Structure 1
Amino acid sequence: MDDVLDIELARIPAGAVTLHNARRKTRRTVDLAPFEIGVFPVTQEQVAEILGDTGEEHPHPRRPATGVSWQRAIRFCNAASEWEGLDPVYSFDGEEVTWHVDADGYRLPTEAEWEYACRAGSTGPHYGPLTEVAWTAADAVRTPQNIGGKLPNLFGLFDTLGNVWEWCWDLLDPLRYDDYRVFRGGGFADEAWNVRASVRRGGAPRMHHEDLGFRVARGGFDGPDAQGWSAAADRERADADGPLPLGWTPRR
């Protein structure tokens, strides 16, 4: 395989992470099986090689791929799996995407996997001094920076905080935001308040932005749900028949 496509993965041990949803004022603890996740965000060079282009006029090979929608990130995962002879993880029915959780190919991390991998055992908002581990507004840069330019966390992962936000598999909040998907980590233009392990944002599956990219994960599991994600829970969270938090309205 060409070195360009050599997606370096770190093996993440089993463990647990507590997810906090500030808007819904809920906490839940997720037990995770071991999995693998990219040491770096996927680069422009890797997207160009796998999908044919980066979507940018002047690509910078070692910068994180940006301007990549959630749908495009999903298709990158399947294409990278096929390139390496792995079972593709996702299937498509129009705009609807199904995750086959037993497949061994590349995929987006779940929100629980992402936060657990980002924290690497830390319990505070950052896994190190922010100026040393993350590109943020404090650096006064105007674009994403080459991967690996700051210090890694204790799992050996670079740029999980700062540089670019990263898509996850999970729905943000289907009752209020329909099919919006979660992204995490903060970007190069964000102040420290947004560049924390627990901050969650989201956008429509075809949304793309100059500070939004992704990193891949791998790991197949038994059962219909996996790693903190549940299709049944998604359906329940989208049900407007129950009581709503104060001030909320269901999606229109």
Structure 2
Amino acid sequence: MKKISILFMLLISFIFVGCGSSSDSNHDYKLSSLEIIGGTLDKEFNPDRKKYTVYVDIQAETLSLNGSPLNPEYNVHGLFNNKNVYEFFGENGEGFNSVVEHTVYVDNNENEKKGMYLFEFRLKYEDYKIEVIKVKSGTTSEENGNLTVENDYYIGKYEVTQQLWYNVMKNNKNGVSAEPSQNVYDLSENYPVDSVTWYETLVFLNRLSILEGYNPVYEINGEFNPDKWGDIPKSRNIEWDEVVVNGNRNGYRLLTDIEWEYAARGGKDGLPTKSAGSDDIDEVAWYNGNSGNTTHPVGEKLPNELGIYDMCGNIWEITFDWYISVYRSDRGGGYNYSGSYCIFPGKGNKEPYATESCLGMRLAR
């Protein structure tokens, strides 16, 4: 078991509402002070605010609050157990992005309930923001591949990192490792995740979509919730191979083969360079001639014209498309491959259930 230290943030919004007797007045529900233990307010306390957001370390045992309403007869206090709420989300699939209410009582000096306040919880990845870049539709020049993409899309600015993979995949119900990487393992240094399979990326992307409040794209056996897909296949699986892609949904997904190359070449206005953003692969890529035979943190080399990093080298990036009937397409080359794979078109392939230490991913939406 690898020892890890992760800061995983839970975004908690709570709104104060009166639920007491008709004798309760509005000023009972305004606070003159608010103390948070185990979390941090997003903005400085203001007595006129009725909604607050608190950032909480998921490793913390509890979050507690102590508030003083303007009416001194009442005290506000509450206790929230992170673990229980996280488990609730984890066990309910689609519930990752739903609002869960918890009560915080307003007690008088004799501890008689005079009303209640409500917490509203929503899980977010505020600590690991997912940066994406919009790629506009169009056609690259003849000298730059003559590729056409009909619709705009978003692409990850960086390769998916180990820390993001871990946060999404821990506690998954498909038997997928949350710590698959065979190279340098360090959740704090933005190393790309490696050693993942095409099948595993489908689980990751639908879980991430649910966590972030988007509509998941991939559907297997009529289910969008990957918790209901069963164990990850260890060999060819026709049901997983025939996954339905719902293009009208806004969740995360893999790039198509053409989308990958179109973005790597800089889109419709990209220059006809040999590699993604440069004719000199050492400027933009980690490969066997400069990597030291290991992956490197994302974003250390120069980006291409669109501001996308590591489109060539570091890790091979899984795309959605079939390469031939039994292999899925991978693009861009890897840290332990010849620099020739960092030069367009830079194509590779792998069975959807198989992986190697240089195989990772980049997300799209």
TM-score norm. by structure 1 comes to: 0.77
> 1:149-190, CA deviations, whole angstroms, 9 ceiling, x for partnerless residues?
10001100000000000000111022xxx3x11000000112
Tell me the secondary structure at the aligned position of residue 313 of structure 2. coil
The structure in which a higher percent of residues are strand is 2
Cα distance in 1 for partners of 2:337, 2:285 equals: 10
8 A Cα contact 1:4 1:45, kept in partner: no
Alignment correspondent of 1:43: 161
1:114 aligns with 2:260: yes
User: What stretches of structure 2 of length at least 5 have no aligned partner?
Assistant: 1-123, 171-177, 222-238
The change in CA–CA distance for 1:99 and 1:183 in structure 2 (over 3 A counts) is: same
8 A Cα contact 1:38 1:217, kept in partner: yes
1:64 aligned to which of 192, 195, 217: 192
- Report the CA distance between 1:88 and its aligned residue: 0.4
TM-score norm. by structure 2 comes to: 0.54
Tell me the secondary structure at the aligned position of residue 243 of structure 2. strand
Cα distance in 2 for partners of 1:44, 1:4 equals: 14
Tell me the secondary structure at the aligned position of residue 210 of structure 2. helix
- Superposition RMSD in Å: 1.9
Cα distance in 1 for partners of 2:200, 2:141 equals: 29
1:209 aligned to which of 356, 360, 365: 356
1:6 aligns with 2:129: yes
Alignment correspondent of 1:123: 272
The change in CA–CA distance for 1:137 and 1:56 in structure 2 (over 3 A counts) is: closer
1:161 aligns with 2:306: no
8 A Cα contact 1:90 1:99, kept in partner: yes
Tell me the secondary structure at the aligned position of residue 168 of structure 1. strand
User: What stretches of structure 1 of length at least 5 have no aligned partner?
Assistant: 20-26, 219-252
1:30 aligned to which of 148, 154, 165: 148
Cα distance in 2 for partners of 1:107, 1:28 equals: 24
Bigger shift: residues 109-118 or 89-98:
89-98
Alignment correspondent of 2:44: none
The change in CA–CA distance for 1:203 and 1:146 in structure 2 (over 3 A counts) is: same
- Report the CA distance between 1:125 and its aligned residue: 2.2
List 4+ stretches of structure 1 deviating above 6 A.
none
1:105 aligns with 2:251: yes
Alignment correspondent of 1:88: 216
Alignment correspondent of 2:336: 189
The change in CA–CA distance for 1:157 and 1:87 in structure 2 (over 3 A counts) is: same
Letter in 2 for 1:2: Y
Higher-Rg structure is 2
User: How many percent identity over aligned positions?
Assistant: 30
